[in-house]
Amino acid sequence: MKFPTALLTAAILTGLIAAASQPVCGQSAPSQSKAPPRKSTPAPDLLQQVLAKAEEAIEKEDFATAARLLDEYLAQKPDDARAHFQLGYACTALQQNEKAKTHYQRAVELDPKLAAGHLNLGLVLLEQSPREAVAPLRRAVELLPDQARPRYLLGQALERSEQLEEAVKAYTDAGKIEPGSFDIALALGRVSLAQKDYGEAEASYRKALKLQPAAALARLGLAESLLAQNKAELALTEYSAYLAAKPDDADVRLQVASLCADLGRFEAALAELQRLEDMQQRLPQVHRMRALIHQRQNRVADAAKDLEGAVVLEPRDWELRAQRGRLLLELRDFPAAEAELRTALQLKPDAIDPLRDLVATFYLAENYPSALQALDQLAKRESLSPGSWFIRATCYDKMRMLAEARAAYQKFIELDQGKSEKQDFQARQRIKTLTRMLEKKR
């Protein structure tokens, strides 16, 4: 049994037509002894003709005519629950949802046991205000206890209202009535996934796929539930099956590329990224991921070029600038690295990582005064690490600032506590040398 979300259903229409043959509100025919109606009010038989024509128009799906006739009828019979329901139905078909809502509400006020009225009121509210839809759909469930559809729709309202535990119960109860429903199995998988009950989600999606093996959404849900359980290989198989049905889904293709990269299948990952570019998908994530893969392959120059493409698409992303600056630093392209790192700091003045990399860039480029200035800025944001003190000491040393160099080497030794044996040895040797040089100057 299908459970579409559309408001108009053949089942409701059939019930509506059947209802048209019932007496209106249980009223009997007018007595002959009653005074004739005033000229301004149509005779009862004429009103019934208007109602009959409205019902005929609904059967023919001429909803505009039906709405006009029902408005005319209700002007004289405002307490007819069935007519309000019919007008709500016609307005729904005409996408006049506010008017439909008003007439459904009036219908159930007049006849609280009008199950179709509660059901359609819930459907009208479901898209715009799921929380408001819960109450009428609960009432529809009470009035139609043996039908799966009201429970399924109640589950949708609860799910969209983020009342997930209650949604699971509603869907489960619907599934007991219609155990072969694909829509119910899919919904249970979706809610279980949202609740992080990944095992239950997997089971529900597998049931949905047994019912409809070609269902792409069930395939995607199964893949996501498997990945959440760290079943990466199985997830990749399901993602691939999904993409076979939905090849233009860029987000999932990007997910597959990431998964391939995590599994060490770099060429497969790069192939997926190339497909995205062939689809004319200008996504910065494609460049970012390709850069990451190239870094893992130790192809630093290629990674830097990849990030250049990402920067073109997102020029104000300071992290991209900082990442590319670091790669250019590894390539010892110091001018380009400095430019990217300075841009990153302009975009994010309080960022620390690009400032650290800028210190390293100046130091390795033997621009010792600039390295010291950058270290001074870094010291305002964090306590300098032993490594930073060693760089400071070396800069002073290279600039022949002997006393400052010796003090910085001593600070390095104090902080490092012998953890960096090579630098510790160098620092101690330089302190001895600098001490002798300073004594000679006296």
Q: What residue segments make up the domains of the chain, in order of their start?
A: 383-442
pLDDT of residue 5: 34
Distance (Å, whole) CA 78 – CA 17: 20
Mean pLDDT rounded to a whole number for the chain: 90
Q: Using CA atoms in the order 114, 116, 121, 122, what is the torsion angle rounded to 10 degrees?
A: 110
Distance (Å, whole) CA 399 – CA 408: 13
Ranges 240-249, 279-288, 348-357: which has the least confidence: 279-288
pLDDT of residue 171: 97
**pLDDT band, very low/low/confident/very high, at 280 (cuts 50, 70, 90):** confident
Kindly report, residue by residue over 13-70, the tens digit of the pLDDT. 323 323 322 222 222 222 222 333 344 455 668 999 999 999 999 999 999 999 999 9
Residue 106 φ/ψ, nearest 5 degrees:
-65, -35
Distance (Å, whole) CA 371 – CA 378: 10
Ranges 31-40, 208-217, 263-272: which has the least confidence: 31-40
Distance (Å, whole) CA 272 – CA 286: 9
- The pLDDT > 70 percentage for the chain reads 90
pLDDT of residue 283: 86
pLDDT of residue 45: 84
- pLDDT higher than threshold 80 for residue 146: yes
Cα atoms found within 13 Å of the Cα of residue 397, Cβ hemisphere only: 21
Contact 221, 197 (CB under 8 A): no
- pLDDT higher than threshold 50 for residue 90: yes
- pLDDT higher than threshold 90 for residue 10: no
pLDDT of residue 1: 43
Mean pLDDT of 168-182: 97
Contact 89, 61 (CB under 8 A): no
- pLDDT higher than threshold 90 for residue 165: yes
The pair of structure tokens assigned to 331 is: 């390539």
Kindly report, residue by residue over 383-392, the tens digit of the pLDDT. 999 999 999 9
**pLDDT band, very low/low/confident/very high, at 279 (cuts 50, 70, 90):** confident
- pLDDT higher than threshold 70 for residue 244: yes
N- to C-terminal Cα separation, the chain: 99
Cα atoms found within 13 Å of the Cα of residue 147, Cβ hemisphere only: 19
412 against 6, higher pLDDT: 412
pLDDT of residue 41: 53
pLDDT of residue 282: 81
pLDDT of residue 27: 28
Mean pLDDT of 79-102: 96
pLDDT of residue 164: 96
Mean pLDDT of 98-106: 96
Distance (Å, whole) CA 305 – CA 307: 5
- pLDDT higher than threshold 90 for residue 151: yes
Distance (Å, whole) CA 392 – CA 381: 16
Mean pLDDT of 424-432: 96
- The burial class, CB within 10 Å (0-12 / 13-18 / 19+), for 399 is middle
Kindly report, residue by residue over 314-353, the tens digit of the pLDDT. 999 999 999 999 999 999 999 999 999 999 999 999 999 9
423 against 20, higher pLDDT: 423
Count of beta carbons in the 10 Å neighbourhood of residue 401? 17
